[in-house]
Structures are given as C-alpha cells and as structure tokens.
Amino acid sequence: MKICFLMYPWERVTKGDSTLRFIHESVKRGHEVSMVTPERLSIRDSVTMGNCEVFTKNQKVSSSVTSFQQNCEKSFKFLPLAEFDVVFMRANPPLDPFVLNFLDSIKDDVFVMNAVRGLREANNKIYTAAYYDPEQEFIPKTYVSKDVDYLQQIIEESDQEQMIMKPLDGYGGKGVIVIEKSASKNIKSLLDYYVNSSTKDGKSQYAILQEYIEGAENGDVRVFMLHGEPIGALRRVPSKGDVRSNISAGGTTEKYKLSKEEIRVCRKIGEKLVRDGLFFAGLDLIGSKLVEVNVLSPGAITEYNRLNKTKLQIKIIDYLEKTVKARKEALAKNNNIDMNSITID
C-alpha cells in the first residue's frame, strides 16, 4: 500500500502524537509511506504533486515509537499524489481551502481519509452546529454569528447562568471560554474583542455560543469513530480552574466505557459521518450530547493506548488496507466501490 500523510511538519511531531503512531505502524508493516505538508503541494504540467518526505523502504524499524522518530530514514522526493493508494489527512485546523482544491484533482483516483466533500463541510464547527436535531436530542442549543448585538441578546435571553463561547475554527481548546450572565457589564466588551479584535489580521471572526451542559465542569468524553462505529473512548478531565479538557490545554485522561445511550448517539451520528465520507473522526460528548466533531486530525490515540494497554492504530491501518484492497478489486471488475461493504472487525 502506498500511503501519504498530509500533515504538519515532522519537526512539530511530538513523542505523544497520534499521527506518529499511524506512520510508525505503516512503515513497520512495509508499506510505502510518505508525508507532505500543505505548503509543499504544487501543480506541475496539470498534475498535482507533493514534495514528499519518503520513508526508506525496508529500513530497520524499532518497536519503540520514540526511537523510530529519532532514527528513521527518509528523503525528499517529488511525487504525483494520484499514484498513492491513500492520502490520510492529518493537518491541524484551520484548513486552508486551497488544500481541498489540490485534493479535488485526485479524489477519484485515491482513497482520501477523510473524503474531500466531507472535509469541505466539516472542517470547522459549523458542521456540528448545523446538525438537524430539532428536539435537541443529542446536539446542545448552538448559535453561530459575527453579530455582537445578536450574540449579546442570546446570552441575555438564555435561561442559563452560563454559556460556552468558542471560535469557529479553533482546536485544542484554544479560545474556549465560559460566559457568565452575572458579569453582564463586561459581556458586550468581551464579545466585541472576541469577534472583532482577537485575530492577527484584524478581520472579524465567527463565534459560537453553546448552552452549558450539566457536568461540563467534569470534562468530556472523546470517542474515536471508524466507518461510523465507535472503536474506543476516554474521558478528558480539565485541570483545576480551567473549563477546557483538551490534553493540549493541560487536561488529563481517564479510562472510560461508553454507556448504551452514548453508543446509540455515536451510531446515529456515525450514519451521517459515513454518508459524508468522514470515515475517521473524533467526537466530543458531554452528557450524551455532541459538542464537537474533529475530522482533520483526531488525537489522544496515545493516551487511549496507554489506558487500555492496546494499539488503536492497528485497527485504523487494518481498515485502510481493507479499503484499498476492496477498491482495487472493484476497479478490476469495473465497478464502483460500495463503502457500506467495508466492515470494522
């Protein structure tokens, strides 16, 4: 299998990085593995190319991920993306929309995880906010706007003392704050700064207001979804005095088993994920309600492995191998691949 990871630079990969686990597992299995950053994509003679870092084939691979990271052999090579079997998206948000234009040119030839159309719809938090759930069965009340007066009105009319506010394209807990009605004199100033003054380029940004879910102070549950099915979960607990439970923001993790209700919610959400070509995603749940979907670079695999003494990356790379095999068999028969035929063992 030829697999290319479209990701952040190698020098920014940390020893606990989930992407590192995927790369290590792929190289260890003998696959032809490359990685490329969005900045190294180009078009040459109408062919989408990547100045890729290619891992040396059949090199000695340490069982230690840390040792592999420090000693792996690789070299740069310009490669056409259409020659890969898989392009595995692992770039951090916000996603440059031009990256999707590059991927548009190869999406019929390569299995892109996740699919370009799904990434286009779901690479920011509007995807979750726009889920159709009129009874608020599994989506908390959510509002998205740049209109400061409107956002202030929502806060004033809320029957809750607290609401959560966050940026539309943030990740890792960046910019997540609690709005308290008791601080009413400061709310408009805070909203104005958040929407109009907090970006480096001076442009206004969309803000998301979300109802405060009971129990949010105790953290959230990160669920790993593969082809619409939950394959693992852990609880993320915020550090003292912080509302954010993201690991990158200082949160810690605990072993967690999904309840029947949470599994039901995950599968309901999973149906839409698969329809949208979002085969690998991270769901963040609080009290069986979906607060966020990460479709670009779901993390915390390393923490899940440590808590459960397993290697979740094995199941994910198994899935890619099975999908590539099914695509090649369908192509040999001049058929379109039926993604519903791919199952999770």
Interval 77-106: pLDDT, tens: 999 999 999 999 999 887 888 999 999 999
Q: Rounded CA gap, 310 and 209, in Å? A: 37
Instruction: Identify the band that residue 178 occupies on the pLDDT scale cut at 50, 70 and 90.
Output: confident
Q: Is the pLDDT of residue 330 over 80?
A: yes
CA distances (Å), origin 169, targets 2, 41, 112, 116: 31, 22, 21, 17
Q: Is the pLDDT of residue 160 over 80?
A: yes
Can you give the pLDDT at residue 67?
96
Can you give the pLDDT at residue 278?
97
Q: Rounded CA gap, 41 and 43, in Å? A: 7
Q: Is the pLDDT of residue 243 over 70?
A: no
Superfamily name with CATH number, domain 217-310:
ATP-grasp fold, B domain (3.30.470.20)
Residues forming beta bridges with residue 6, ordered by sequence position: 36, 89
- Classified as helix, coil or strand, 186 is helix
Do 148 and 196 touch, CB atoms closer than 8 A?
A: yes
Residue bearing the bigger pLDDT, 24 or 247 = 24
Same topology, domains 2-113 and 141-211? Answer is no
Do 222 and 156 touch, CB atoms closer than 8 A?
A: no
Instruction: Identify the band that residue 201 occupies on the pLDDT scale cut at 50, 70 and 90.
Output: low
Q: Give the rounded distance of the alpha carbon of 67 from its chain centre.
A: 26
Give me the residue spans of the domains in the chain.
Answer: 2-113, 141-211, 217-310
Stated as kind and residue range, the H or E segment containing 112 is strand 111-113
Q: Which of 12-16, 121-125, 169-173, 322-326 has the lowest mean pLDDT?
A: 169-173
**What's the DSSP call for residue 339?**
G
Do 167 and 191 touch, CB atoms closer than 8 A?
A: no
Q: Is the pLDDT of residue 193 over 60?
A: yes
Q: What is the pTM of this model?
A: 0.89
Q: Rounded CA gap, 177 and 166, in Å? A: 6
Can you give the pLDDT at residue 241?
58
Annotation: CATH topology of 2-113: Rossmann fold (3.40.50)
Instruction: Identify the band that residue 245 occupies on the pLDDT scale cut at 50, 70 and 90.
Output: low
- Classified as helix, coil or strand, 336 is coil
* Closest to 242 (Cα-Cα) out of 176, 166, 298, 170: 176
CA distances (Å), origin 3, targets 27, 112, 147, 218: 10, 10, 43, 39
Which tokens hold the place of 180? 């308290």
* Closest to 79 (Cα-Cα) out of 107, 108, 54: 54
Q: Average pLDDT for residues 1-22, to the nearest whole number?
A: 96
Q: Is the pLDDT of residue 26 over 70?
A: yes
> Is the Cα torsion angle 14, 94, 273, 331 positive or negative in sign?
negative
Do 114 and 295 touch, CB atoms closer than 8 A?
A: yes
Which tokens hold the place of 63? 């069982």
The C-alpha angle 268, 270, 273, rounded to 5 degrees, equals 125
Residue type, 20: L
| Cis omega (within 30 of 0) for bond into 134 | no
Q: Is the pLDDT of residue 130 over 90?
A: no
Can you give the pLDDT at residue 183?
79
307 Cβ contact list (under 8 Å, min separation 6): 234, 253, 254, 255
CATH 3.30.1490.20 applies to domain 141-211: yes
- Classified as helix, coil or strand, 53 is strand
